[in-house]
């Protein structure tokens, strides 16, 4: 056995050397990979701070609360950040500082005049270093509840919701969470969960219908987008009907129709209404988009506006004043409404007491050549 010991030891030593060499090579490769990963890794607050010669806390504050830094310091940090393509982690930031997050649910932007309102909210948020988290929803009760649950999952400081919340379970959920809630666009019809900011859609529709009657129209029809689940449109229809009743004018289902909120929908609605009742001499559309379609249908059919039929809209969009003939409509301050909702919400978040339950915004009947 002694004669075989030498070769066995040599083989063992060679095996150990091979393993050691393999380990060293593996370690070297790992170090190289680590260095490569470090070189390729995205910059973070700490590396930005090192490059700018400032503390990580100061750099972090630049992205969370820029208003608290001196302009020169902020500019110095932003120059470094832009130079290396640094983008702060907004999700992590919002989780660390949910007090700056405001959630909102809006209906489909393509089908409404809500864009001005959202712009007002966004501008007011920026002025207050608040972050606006926007979720698109619709007027279905289940969809509304899901959207509210999603927003609450972000732990926001407060919410701005379009019109009154329809789902009883969503109302209970919001009240149990105790968050400040602004219901925007409507102030009539129901007590708000917290505070309502907007106009009385009943009053706007009542005023427009009354004005059409005062001018001398006898057979006034009403065209609306789908009303189910939409308390603003419900209040406009009620206001329209009450105005007719107050003047002993006819209120009939054949004088009312619901259509998708498109110009094609408004065109089709006017055509159907005139087939139902050729004596209709004025049509009040619940949105300018629908009313524009009504004007287009009149041009196609050779109906004179307003001699054969008068057209009135709602919203006073930019196109309303550019249309031929120019559109009579209800002007609602959507941008200011958006701003006001954030202003009131910020005061609630700050703990201010004694705020009114309803904040009414003004509206104007704008009379132009279509009536």
User: Pairing between strand 364-366 and 329-331?
Assistant: antiparallel
CA distance 366 to 288: 12
Which residue do the tokens 């310091």 mark?
Answer: 73
Which residue do the tokens 């959630």 mark?
Answer: 103
SS3 category, 328: strand
pLDDT recorded at residue 90: 53
pLDDT recorded at residue 31: 41
Tokens (6 digits) for 230: 């939409």
pLDDT recorded at residue 93: 55
User: In the Cβ-directed half-sphere of 164, how many Cα atoms lie within 13 Å?
Assistant: 22
What sections of the chain are H helices per DSSP? 2-40, 45-52, 56-64, 71-84, 90-96, 115-127, 141-153, 168-177, 201-215, 231-246, 263-276, 288-301, 334-349
CA distance 287 to 314: 4
Tokens (6 digits) for 147: 């959207």
Residues 6+ away with beta carbon under 8 Å from 127 = none
Tokens (6 digits) for 158: 């407060």
- Taking the C-alpha atoms of 355, 357, 361 and 365 in order, what is their torsion angle to the nearest 10 degrees? -160
pLDDT recorded at residue 92: 55
pLDDT recorded at residue 326: 98
pLDDT recorded at residue 20: 43
CA distance 344 to 334: 15
- Mean pLDDT per 10-residue segment, the chain (371 residues): 43 45 48 42 77 89 78 87 71 57 80 80 94 81 83 90 81 88 86 93 97 97 91 94 96 95 96 97 97 97 97 95 97 95 96 93 97 97
CA distance 311 to 298: 10
Which residue do the tokens 């070297």 mark?
Answer: 28
């Amino acid at each position: 056995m002694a004669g075989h010991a030498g070769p066995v030891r040599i083989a063992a030593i060679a095996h150990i050397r091979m393993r050691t060499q393999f380990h060293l090579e593996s370690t070297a490769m790992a170090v190289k990979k680590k260095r490569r990963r470090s070189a390729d890794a995205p910059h973070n607050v700490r590396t930005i701070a090192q490059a700018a010669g400032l503390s990580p806390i100061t750099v972090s504050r630049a992205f969370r609360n820029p208003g608290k830094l001196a302009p020169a310091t902020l500019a110095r940090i932003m120059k470094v950040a832009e130079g290396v393509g640094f983008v702060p982690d907004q999700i992590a930031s919002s989780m660390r500082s949910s007090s700056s997050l405001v959630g909102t649910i809006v209906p489909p932007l393509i089908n409404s005049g809500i864009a001005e309102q959202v712009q007002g909210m966004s501008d007011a948020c920026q002025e207050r270093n608040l972050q606006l988290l926007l979720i698109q929803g619709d007027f279905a009760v289940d969809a509304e509840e899901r959207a509210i649950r999603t927003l609450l999952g972000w732990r926001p400081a407060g919410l701005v919701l379009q019109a009154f919340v329809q789902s009883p379970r969503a109302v209970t959920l919001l009240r149990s969470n105790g968050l400040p809630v602004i219901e925007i666009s409507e102030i009539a019809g129901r007590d708000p969960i917290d505070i309502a900011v907007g106009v009385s859609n009943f009053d706007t529709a009542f005023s427009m219908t009354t004005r059409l009657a005062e001018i001398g129209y006898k057979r006034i029809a009403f065209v609306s987008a789908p009303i189910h689940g939409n308390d603003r449109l419900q209040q406009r229809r009620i206001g329209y009907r009450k105005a007719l009743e107050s003047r002993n004018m006819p209120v009939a289902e054949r004088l009312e129709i619901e259509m998708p909120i498109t110009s094609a929908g408004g065109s089709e609605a006017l055509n159907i209404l005139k087939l139902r009742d050729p004596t209709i001499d004025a049509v009040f559309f619940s949105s300018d988009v629908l009313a524009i379609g009504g004007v287009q249908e009149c041009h196609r059919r050779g109906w004179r506006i307003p001699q054969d039929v008068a057209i009135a809209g709602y919203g006073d969009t930019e196109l309303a004043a550019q249309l031929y003939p120019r559109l009579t409509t209800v002007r609602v301050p959507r941008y200011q409404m958006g701003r006001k909702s954030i202003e009131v919400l910020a005061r609630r978040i700050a703990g201010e007491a004694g705020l009114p339950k309803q904040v009414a915004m003004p509206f104007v009947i704008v009379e132009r050549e279509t009536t």
